[in-house]
């Protein structure tokens, strides 16, 4: 398998954590991508091979052993889950997918804010940033209300894809100084994240800025 990767993308981190938690990471060829800082509002030069594999030209893109390029992080996670024999999803997966979609909606809001902040200042809209902040707040409140579904890891086995995505969303919230601390008013999520962030897969994928070239 081949993964088009950067250390800054939370969508990519989600796939990386899934690969590590299932023991598949070491067999994956990692293609480090670079992104010019105007990626959010201009067609920029792509890392060689990316647009050829996936015309959306987005990361993560996971190319399977059989050569199918999965240019959507949810599908890439599902492929990893299938390879692991379903270890990242419970028998009735739909409540988990419901929580996953909320956490994934947080990732999207975070990246939309990042792209907005990279625009030249005169084209930035504060109301757009507020819309995404409002969305993130609603999602975090929902996750706090459902924190009982987040397992601590004491039961053994890998986390499920909702837990991975909640962990990554909280981690991104911590990493970017223009995002709020998710902990005030959300004690259950805060406690859960303290433990989850210590998993080797999470420590090994701590976010860092993407190289521009």
Using CB under 8 A as the criterion, which residues of the chain lie in contact with a second copy when the complex forms? Answer: 40-43, 51, 54-58, 64, 66, 68-72, 74-75, 79, 94-95, 97-98, 100-102, 104-105, 108-109, 119, 122-125, 127-128, 130-131, 134-135, 138-139, 141-142
In whole angstroms, what is the distance from residue 111 CA to residue 9 CA? 8
Name every residue whose Cβ is closer than 8 Å to that of residue 50 and which is 6 or more positions away in sequence.
4, 31, 33, 57, 59, 61
Minimum distance from residue 66 beta carbon to a second copy (Å) = 7
Q: Is the dihedral of CA 81, 82, 84, 89 positive or negative?
A: positive
Minimum distance from residue 125 beta carbon to a second copy (Å) = 5
Of residues 101 and 195, the one with the C-beta less far from a second copy: 101
Buried residues in 162-199 as b, exposed as e (16+ CB within 10 A):
bbbbbbbbbbbbbeeeebeebbeebeebbebbeebeeb
Minimum distance from residue 197 beta carbon to a second copy (Å) = 23
Of residues 60 and 202, the one with the C-beta less far from a second copy: 60
What is the 8-class DSSP label of residue 211?
P
Q: Which of 145, 135, 143, 139 lies closest to 196 in space, CA to CA?
A: 143
Q: Which of 167, 156, 158, 160 lies closest to 196 in space, CA to CA?
A: 167
Of residues 82 and 204, the one with the C-beta less far from a second copy: 82
In whole angstroms, what is the distance from residue 57 CA to residue 33 CA? 11
Minimum distance from residue 172 beta carbon to a second copy (Å) = 16
Of residues 97 and 196, the one with the C-beta less far from a second copy: 97
Minimum distance from residue 203 beta carbon to a second copy (Å) = 28
Minimum distance from residue 195 beta carbon to a second copy (Å) = 24
Q: Which of 132, 144, 66, 67 lies closest to 99 in space, CA to CA?
A: 144
Of residues 189 and 202, the one with the C-beta less far from a second copy: 189
Of residues 62 and 202, the one with the C-beta less far from a second copy: 62
């Amino acid at each position: 398998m081949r993964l088009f990767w950067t250390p800054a993308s939370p969508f990519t981190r989600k796939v990386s954590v899934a690969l590590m938690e299932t023991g598949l990471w070491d067999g994956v060829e990692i293609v480090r991508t670079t992104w010019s800082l105007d990626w959010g509002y201009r067609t920029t030069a792509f890392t060689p091979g990316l647009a050829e594999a996936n015309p959306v030209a987005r990361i993560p893109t996971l190319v399977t052993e059989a050569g199918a390029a999965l240019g959507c992080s949810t599908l890439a996670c599902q492929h990893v889950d299938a390879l692991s024999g379903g270890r990242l999803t419970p028998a009735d997966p739909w409540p988990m997918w419901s929580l996953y979609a909320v956490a994934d909606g947080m990732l999207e809001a975070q990246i939309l804010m990042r792209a907005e902040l990279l625009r030249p200042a005169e084209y930035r809209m504060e109301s757009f940033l507020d819309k995404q902040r409002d969305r993130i707040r609603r999602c975090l409140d929902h996750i706090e209300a459902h924190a009982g579904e987040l397992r601590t890891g004491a039961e053994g086995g890998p986390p499920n894809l909702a837990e991975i995505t909640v962990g990554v969303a909280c981690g991104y919230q911590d990493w970017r100084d223009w995002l709020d601390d998710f902990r005030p008013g959300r004690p259950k999520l805060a406690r859960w994240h303290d433990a989850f962030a210590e998993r080797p897969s999470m420590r090994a994928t701590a976010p860092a800025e993407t190289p521009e070239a």
